[in-house]
Chain A
Amino acid sequence: MAEEDILSDELLRQLISVGEVDILVGLHTYNDAKTIGHVVQVIREGLLRYFPRERAAILNADGGSADNTPELVQAASISDARQASTLHTLRTLHCISSRYAGHPSAGKAMHTIVAAADLLRAKACAVIAPRSSEIVPEWMDRLLRPIYRDHFDYVTPVYQRHHFEGILVTNLMYPMVRAAYGIPICEPRPGEFGFSDRLAGHLLGEDVWSQDVGRSGPEVIITMSALAGGYRMYQSFLGPKGHVEQQSSDLVHALRQTVAPLFWSLAKDYASWSAVREAQAVPTLGPNFLVTMDSARLDRKRLHHMFCSGVVDLEPVLKSILTPPTLAALQRIAATDEHRFDYSDELWVKAVYEFAASYHKSVISRDHIIQALAPLYRGRVYAFLEQNLNASEQELEHNLEVLCQTFERLKPYLLERWAGQEGSS
């Protein structure tokens, strides 16, 4: 979809009336009335505090909320902030709210924001998740300054998490991206991020927005495009990540948003990651690993049961995705009881790599491949919880580092599977 198609006439009119800006903050919303007012006020406060001289605008791309979210965005942007008396802006802070056509979709919203940033020639653009209730004004500085002042192209966040939150990120997304591209990005699917005008131009030229993965997981696609394009990366610590209740607990949906775009990008950018041999560090503001060790109520028995029954029931599907040795190893584990459960890092990594290669080759429907990963992931979560239930923060960090090294060590296996050769067990 071309830039002129994604921006409606009404939005174009509003953007033209704003003119060029230095900074743009994008919000993609859909029925977020509960949190959006606070988020917009904090964004406004952050912009006034850290970028008082810059031309700035807030753009809300809404998916057709029925709870007056766009009106609340407008109201919050003109209401008096608490610190209004101490904050002064030298320019008007514009706030635009627009409803994009079609069904609510993160990809369409993100496409609208990127196209608007390009049209307004914004030097730096930040995207903020509308449910980020932990947002503080400093986020504006941490996401935008590296781009605006230091000429980085893409800023991703580092969050403080509960030690068992985000296992899909810590056990698959992060280590696989690090192994493939040699760049350790803590959050390959960032809720909040910043990008430069150069990257915006590049993203608009990419044929990703009309794809299913571009619609469901645009954040991962943007990260992968930035990595493959060799853009300058930066990480900023933002503090605690939103509570579990605000996150989607539908695993298949989460896999479609994250793993599907990751596998898709690997297939698209094979030339750029297959040749990477050495890892390189990413400049990071603040710590790059911080967890809270609060207790959590976890149903480990259910995870174990769903892994075992999933491996048994999905045998005909897994047969077409996995190599016989990997499938046999998984079936062996599924047949053992909870106390002798031994799902090693190596087996998990090999299974993930074989899924990625099968996705690339489309051995069956790609969406079915992604769905078939869910039981294996549940098994991995169970093994991870068993391993780290009483682990300290240092032990947890060490175990995750060992997993990452396994992903890196087995990268030749991924390349081998990718080329279609038979792997050794």
Chain B
Amino acid sequence: MQGMIVHELRQVWDEFIRAFAHLLPRLLVILIIAAVGWLVAYLLKILVRNFLRLVKFDRLSERAGAAQLLDTAALPSATELLSQLVFWLAWLVFVLVGINALGTAGVQEHISAFLRFLPRVLVALAILFFGILAANFFSRAALLAAVNSNSPSPQLLSDATRVIIIVLAISMAFEELGLAQKTVLIAFSIVFGALMLGLAIAFGLGGRDLARRFLEKRFSERTPRKAKEDELSPL
């Protein structure tokens, strides 16, 4: 009985040793790939950071208003953020390739699916980034135009412009990720419909007098013309 137990234990131990001996080289390969990947990712990060500094990417993001946004969110500068992103993405790819070397069928499938998905994540991030840049630029343009034309509620107009563009960018990013295929269409329809309805109501209520004056002027020559307010010529 005792001999049988010892025999079984020895057999299990031998199997464990065999399995470990079989796994050990693969673990070493993973570690080596991860270490090489870290080095490559680090070099890539330095390369990207220097390139972005060379093309003054921080200045560009500052001009587009992204720097203020990052600052508000307590995030590092655009250059630092992008180079960090490149580092982590590159290293993640190497680690996944290493895990892939284990040869486990289920894991392999998931990893290859993830690697196929990765470019779409990058495109979605790019869409989001440029969407935020565009939102800042156009909201500032709307603010300036509204202030200089003495329009009421310039802040509201500026914020509305920003929200519309960001909603559109987020929808497009989701669409790229395949998370919400019809979001763009629906979001756009809702926002555009709301905007048009808002404008129709605004013109309907606020523009009654203007429309009446226009029609009177157009169809009745008897309406006396009001004296024009003099303006100073700046030049």
Question: Which residues of A are in contact with B by a Cβ distance under 8 Å?
Answer: 164-169, 189, 244, 247-249, 251-252, 254-255, 257-258, 296-299, 302, 305-306, 309-310, 313-314, 316-317, 320, 362-365, 368, 371-372, 374-375, 377, 381
Provide the bound-state CA to CA distance between A377 and B143, in Å.
17
**23 cross-chain CB contacts under 8 A:** A165-B232, A166-B233, A168-B235, A169-B234, A244-B233, A247-B233, A249-B232, A255-B234, A306-B150, A314-B143, A314-B144, A317-B143, A317-B144, A364-B63, A364-B65, A364-B140, A365-B137, A368-B140, A371-B145, A371-B148, A374-B147, A374-B148, A381-B232
**Interface presence of B108 (CB below 8 A):** no
Measured CB to CB, the nearest residue on chain A to B231 is: A249
Question: Which residues of B are in contact with A by a Cβ distance under 8 Å?
Answer: 59, 62-63, 65, 68, 137, 140-141, 143-148, 150, 154-155, 229-235
Q: Contact: B59 with A313, CB < 8 Å?
A: no
Apart from A252-B148, A313-B143: 4 A-B pairs, beta carbons within 8 A: A164-B232, A247-B233, A314-B147, A364-B62
Q: Contact: B144 with A296, CB < 8 Å?
A: no
A245 to chain B, nearest CB (A): 9
User: Which residues of chain A come closer than 8 Å to B231, judged between CB atoms?
Assistant: 244, 249, 299
Measured CB to CB, the nearest residue on chain A to B155 is: A313
User: Which residues of chain B come closer than 8 Å to A249, judged between CB atoms?
Assistant: 231-234
Measured CB to CB, the nearest residue on chain A to B65 is: A364
Provide the bound-state CA to CA distance between A306 and B68, in Å.
26
Q: Contact: A251 with B63, CB < 8 Å?
A: no
Provide the bound-state CA to CA distance between A298 and B229, in Å.
8
Known contacts A314-B147, A365-B137, A166 near B230 by CB under 8 Å? no
Provide the bound-state CA to CA distance between A299 and B68, in Å.
37
Q: Contact: A320 with B148, CB < 8 Å?
A: no
Provide the bound-state CA to CA distance between A314 and B230, in Å.
26
B113 to chain A, nearest CB (A): 42
Q: Contact: B147 with A309, CB < 8 Å?
A: yes
Q: Contact: B234 with A251, CB < 8 Å?
A: yes
Q: Contact: A362 with B59, CB < 8 Å?
A: yes
Q: Contact: B234 with A375, CB < 8 Å?
A: no
Q: Contact: A363 with B147, CB < 8 Å?
A: no
Measured CB to CB, the nearest residue on chain A to B227 is: A297
User: Which residues of chain A come closer than 8 Å to B147, judged between CB atoms?
Assistant: 306, 309-310, 313-314, 374-375
Q: Contact: B59 with A189, CB < 8 Å?
A: no
Q: Which of B146, B150, B229, B234 lies in contact with A167, CB distance below 8 A?
A: B234
User: Which residues of chain B come closer than 8 Å to A320, judged between CB atoms?
Assistant: 62, 68
User: Which residues of chain A come closer than 8 Å to B143, judged between CB atoms?
Assistant: 313-314, 316-317
A30 to chain B, nearest CB (A): 17
Q: Contact: A299 with B154, CB < 8 Å?
A: no
B67 to chain A, nearest CB (A): 9
User: Which residues of chain A come closer than 8 Å to B62, judged between CB atoms?
Assistant: 320, 363-364
User: Which residues of chain B come closer than 8 Å to A244, judged between CB atoms?
Assistant: 230-233
Chain A CB within 10 Å — which of B140, B154, B230, B234 has the most? Answer: B234
A168 to chain B, nearest CB (A): 4
Q: Contact: A296 with B140, CB < 8 Å?
A: no
Known contacts A368-B140, A368-B144, A375-B148, A297 near B63 by CB under 8 Å? no
Known contacts A313-B154, A363-B62, A166 near B144 by CB under 8 Å? no
Provide the bound-state CA to CA distance between A302 and B232, in Å.
12
Q: Contact: A248 with B235, CB < 8 Å?
A: yes
A373 to chain B, nearest CB (A): 10
Known contacts A251-B148, A296-B230, A375-B148, A189 near B63 by CB under 8 Å? no
B115 to chain A, nearest CB (A): 39
Q: Contact: A169 with B150, CB < 8 Å?
A: no
User: Which residues of chain B come closer than 8 Å to A368, judged between CB atoms?
Assistant: 140-141, 144
Provide the bound-state CA to CA distance between A363 and B68, in Å.
12
Q: Which of A298, A305, A317, A363 lies in contact with B230, CB distance below 8 A?
A: A298
Chain A CB within 10 Å — which of B140, B147, B150 has the most? Answer: B147
B60 to chain A, nearest CB (A): 9
Provide the bound-state CA to CA distance between A313 and B141, in Å.
13
A186 to chain B, nearest CB (A): 13
Provide the bound-state CA to CA distance between A374 and B147, in Å.
9
Provide the bound-state CA to CA distance between A255 and B231, in Å.
16
Chain A CB within 10 Å — which of B63, B65, B140, B235 has the most? Answer: B235
Known contacts A252-B148, A310-B147, A317-B143, A297 near B229 by CB under 8 Å? yes
Q: Contact: A166 with B148, CB < 8 Å?
A: no
Known contacts A313-B147, A314-B147, A372-B144, A362 near B63 by CB under 8 Å? yes
Measured CB to CB, the nearest residue on chain A to B60 is: A362
Measured CB to CB, the nearest residue on chain A to B154 is: A313
User: Which residues of chain A come closer than 8 Å to B63, judged between CB atoms?
Assistant: 362-365
Provide the bound-state CA to CA distance between A314 and B140, in Å.
9
User: Which residues of chain B come closer than 8 Å to A252, judged between CB atoms?
Assistant: 148
Provide the bound-state CA to CA distance between A11 and B103, in Å.
76
Provide the bound-state CA to CA distance between A306 and B154, in Å.
12
B134 to chain A, nearest CB (A): 12
Provide the bound-state CA to CA distance between A310 and B144, in Å.
9
A166 to chain B, nearest CB (A): 6
A400 to chain B, nearest CB (A): 15
Measured CB to CB, the nearest residue on chain B to A168 is: B234
Provide the bound-state CA to CA distance between A299 and B59, in Å.
40
Provide the bound-state CA to CA distance between A77 and B64, in Å.
52
Provide the bound-state CA to CA distance between A273 and B65, in Å.
31
Q: Contact: A258 with B140, CB < 8 Å?
A: no
B84 to chain A, nearest CB (A): 25
Measured CB to CB, the nearest residue on chain A to B145 is: A371
Provide the bound-state CA to CA distance between A395 and B154, in Å.
39
A330 to chain B, nearest CB (A): 14
Q: Contact: A165 with B230, CB < 8 Å?
A: no
User: Which residues of chain A come closer than 8 Å to B141, judged between CB atoms?
Assistant: 365, 368
